[in-house]
């Protein structure tokens, strides 16, 4: 058994060299360059992510800035698929989407969409956020598959029990137990303890 620390292991997804977080290793601390707004350079940041919040530490104009974003402040866990460099290739990114694009966190980038699909649902369940898809036009849509609720409660399993009104067969072989209140109580007596 290994010792758990605040800085958990991270897992590399795809062919990249960057270590990316895994939903089973929260809280996790990692570094990445945050997506910047158009016309500005991306900023290196140190990110700490757990079930309740994300803490983003970076420098703006040489001044250290610490931003704490609650998990409910994110829109959801989004998959963005873009064409790769070669024809027929795709690049998929798993992003913890925030309304402010400068605070969106990339959770995984890969060319293998199968491994990303598993991580996508795990991250959404771990952070209790909806699953989102970003199409090639940049439009973000939610996926309703994991937020579906059953129409009605399931039917009872043993309908015969309600008709007969008797105990189940395996309980007929047992004697019913005795109530705890039927046992005598000795409230006025004192317990004697032998000491040597």
Q: In 3-state terms, what secondary structure has residue 181? A: helix
Containing structural domain, residue 40: 23-147
> Residue 72: inside a domain, yes or no?
yes
Helix (H) or strand (E) holding 57: strand 53-60
Cα Rg of the chain, angstroms: 28
Cis-peptide into 27, omega within 30 deg: yes
Q: In 3-state terms, what secondary structure has residue 164? A: helix
Are 132 and 139 within 8 A, CB to CB?
no
What does the pLDDT read at residue 162?
A: 60
Are 127 and 74 within 8 A, CB to CB?
yes
Instruction: Classify residue 43 by burial, with Cβ atoms within 10 Å: 0-12, 13-18, 19+.
Output: middle
> Residue 139: inside a domain, yes or no?
yes
> Residue 3: inside a domain, yes or no?
no
pTM: 0.60
Number of domains in the chain: 1
Cis-peptide into 17, omega within 30 deg: no
CA gap 82, 93 in Å, rounded? 8
- Kindly give the confidence (pLDDT) of every residue in the chain, 196 residues in length, as a single tens digit, with 9 standing for 90 and above: 444 544 444 444 444 444 567 787 888 888 888 766 656 667 788 999 998 999 999 888 888 999 999 999 999 999 988 887 888 788 888 899 998 888 888 888 888 777 788 888 888 888 888 889 887 777 888 887 555 455 567 666 665 656 566 666 666 666 667 666 666 666 777 777 777 6
> Residue 122: inside a domain, yes or no?
yes
> Residue 166: inside a domain, yes or no?
no
> Residue 51: inside a domain, yes or no?
yes
CATH of the domain at 119: 2.30.29
> Residue 41: inside a domain, yes or no?
yes
What does the pLDDT read at residue 148?
A: 46
What does the pLDDT read at residue 152?
A: 67
> Residue 71: inside a domain, yes or no?
yes
* Overall size of the chain counted in residues: 196
Are 77 and 106 within 8 A, CB to CB?
no
């Amino acid at each position: 058994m290994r010792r758990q620390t605040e800085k958990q292991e991270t897992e590399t997804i795809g062919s990249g060299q960057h270590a990316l977080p895994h939903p089973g290793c929260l809280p996790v601390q990692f570094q990445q360059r945050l997506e910047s707004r158009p016309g500005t350079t991306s900023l290196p940041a140190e990110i700490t992510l757990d079930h309740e919040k994300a803490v983003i530490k970076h420098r703006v104009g040489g001044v250290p800035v610490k931003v704490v974003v609650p998990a409910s402040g994110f829109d959801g866990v989004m998959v963005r698929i873009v064409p790769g460099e070669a024809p027929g290739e795709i690049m998929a990114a798993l992003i913890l989407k925030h309304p402010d694009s400068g605070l969106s966190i990339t959770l995984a980038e890969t060319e293998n969409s199968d491994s990303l699909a598993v991580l996508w649902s795990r991250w959404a369940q771990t952070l209790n956020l909806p699953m989102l898809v970003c199409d090639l036009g940049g439009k973000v849509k939610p996926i309703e598959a994991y937020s579906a609720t059953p129409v009605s409660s399931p039917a009872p399993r043993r309908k015969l029990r309600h008709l007969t009104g008797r105990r189940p067969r395996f309980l007929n072989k047992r004697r019913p137990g005795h109530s705890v209140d039927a046992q005598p109580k000795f409230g006025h007596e004192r317990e004697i303890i032998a000491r040597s």
